[in-house]
Amino acid sequence: MDLQKRVVLRNCGRIDPDSIEEYIAHNGYQALGRAVTTLRPAEVIAMVKDSLLRGRGGAGFPTGLKWSLTAKIEADQKYIVCNADEGEPGTFKDRLIMEGDPHGVIEGMAIAGYAVGADQGIIYIRGEYQLSSERMKRAIQQATAYGLLGEGIFGSDFNFTIQVRSGAGAYVCGEETALLESLEGNRVEPRVKPPYPGVAGLWGKPTVVNNVETLANIPPIILNGPEWFRRIGTEKCPGTKVFTMLGDINNQGLIEVPMGITLREIVYGVGGGIPGGKGFKMAQTGGTSGGCLPAAFLDMPMDYDTLSKVGSALGSGAMLIIDDTHCVVDLLKSFMRFFCHESCGKCTPCREGTVRLYEIIQALAEGTATVTEFRLLKELSTTMQLSALCGLGQSAPNSLLTCLEYFAEEFQAHLNGRCPTGTCKNLSVKSDAV
């Protein structure tokens, strides 16, 4: 049985991404035509609300609600920003969506612009994504030449243009307000919210920031209707999710599956299991900001609400599978090093907290951590979750907290001078030292 379902990836690998004619031949730009010629903006928003689509950039905020908040504001200028920064380690879905079907993203942005009353769109693409950037630029040129972007789209009075901007090269650039600072040419640091970008965003104007995958879902929703969309996935979380699978898994790469699929179906069905007959130790869902789930969660449905209840996240859709030869403390050392490096330094809980977490984990790996230091890990993590200014610092301890809960015995072994997998070089493998 094929567990995959293509909605976002409907055209990827099937059409030539550099050909607008092939996109049009596969129902391309029909949804935009339908929206601007037969639907009022409020009706478009009602359809998106009715579909229950939630943002695929990480937080899972309802897309229709986000659009409606911006639509009702009177302003001389509004913007649609497509967030294609994709800095989460292990995540490459947006790159492949843009490379495989650039017009799907453009069409979604134009529909969003029509719905909220914006006439300018900006795609903020991670600097390293050269091919995505080239393909998006070429697609914008083609759509403009066909009159599908520009003035009087489909003979209506709707105008919409799109430009591509290159990301500034840090993980925090993907945080929506930091992204706006970057677009304004400033040092990339998140803003205090509220106000949210939907009210006061780019240059202080109402701005809808949506992820690539979110926008790519829009044309099929308008074309097939919200009921069709709600029949895919779960009741509260309809649609599909694009995941990037990596780590100790036979089939690595991009998959698209209905929301609510179980972890077991992903790992042993679509993923083809773990190489070398090794055992499943954990899956880190949602990228480095997500939590680590042991085998007891293999039958858990993958959706926003269920994962957040167990301390993890669906996040960007990165799925790191780890076999039972790896050491939890060693893994955490590399996750925590990442956050030390990427903290922008604006707020104290994250600037200081990420460094302290890393230091204690490193001491555990070297066998020098004290019980008092170990006990601080949880308190410090909770403080960061509650008080860091943006999602980076708030989610940095997620992997640590889940590991503390689900792999407690492995930490205890390290405190006793033992690394059960033999990964931490200073420690003994065999028996607990006294």
Ligand X SMILES: Cc1cc2nc3c(=O)[nH]c(=O)nc-3n(C[C@H](O)[C@H](O)[C@H](O)COP(=O)(O)O)c2cc1C
Helix (H) or strand (E) holding 122: strand 120-125
CB of 392 to ligand SF4, least distance (A): 4
In 295-363, beta strands by DSSP E: 318-323
Q: Give the separation between CA 358 and CA 329, rounded to whole angstroms.
A: 11
Residue 210 is a binding residue for ligand X (CB under 6 A): yes
Torsion 370-374-379-382 (CA) sign: positive
Residue window 364-403: x/- pattern of binding to ligand SF4, with contact defined by CB under 6 A: ------------------------xxx-xx----------
CA 232 to chain centre: 20
User: Omega into 195 within 30° of 0, i.e. cis?
Assistant: yes
CB closer to ligand X, 89 vs 269: 89
Residue window 160-179: x/- pattern of binding to ligand SF4, with contact defined by CB under 6 A: ------------x-------
Q: Which of 29, 129, 171, 358 binds ligand X (CB under 6 A)?
A: 171
Residue 57 is a binding residue for ligand X (CB under 6 A): yes
Of these partners, ligand X, ligand SF4, none, which one is at the site of residue 59 (CB under 5 to 8 Å by kind)?
Answer: ligand X
Residue by residue, DSSP assigns 61-108 as: -BHHHHHHHHHTS--S--EEEEEE---STT--HHHHHHHH-HHHHHHH
CB of 95 to ligand X, least distance (A): 11
CB of 314 to ligand X, least distance (A): 11
CB closer to ligand X, 62 vs 420: 62
Residue reference for tokens 């009022």 = 40
Q: Which residues contact 1 (CB under 8 A, 6 or more apart)?
A: none
CB of 244 to ligand X, least distance (A): 13
Confirm if 303 and 291 have CB atoms less than 8 A apart. no
CB of 242 to ligand X, least distance (A): 12
Of these partners, ligand SF4, ligand X, none, which one is at the site of residue 214 (CB under 5 to 8 Å by kind)?
Answer: ligand X
**DSSP conformation class of 383:** H
Residue 391 is a binding residue for ligand X (CB under 6 A): yes
Residue 318 bridge partners (DSSP): 244
Using CB under 6 A, which of the segments 88-96, 120-128, 135-143, 346-354 binds ligand SF4? Answer: 346-354
Size of the site for ligand X (CB under 6 A): 23
CB closer to ligand X, 61 vs 154: 61
Alpha-carbon dihedral angle through residues 18, 24, 27, 30, given to the nearest 10 degrees: 120
Size of the site for ligand SF4 (CB under 6 A): 14
Tokens standing for 51? 């579909």
Site of interaction with ligand X (CB under 6 A): 55-59, 61, 66, 83, 85-87, 171-172, 174-176, 209-211, 214, 390-392
Site of interaction with ligand SF4 (CB under 6 A): 172, 190, 343-347, 350-351, 388-390, 392-393
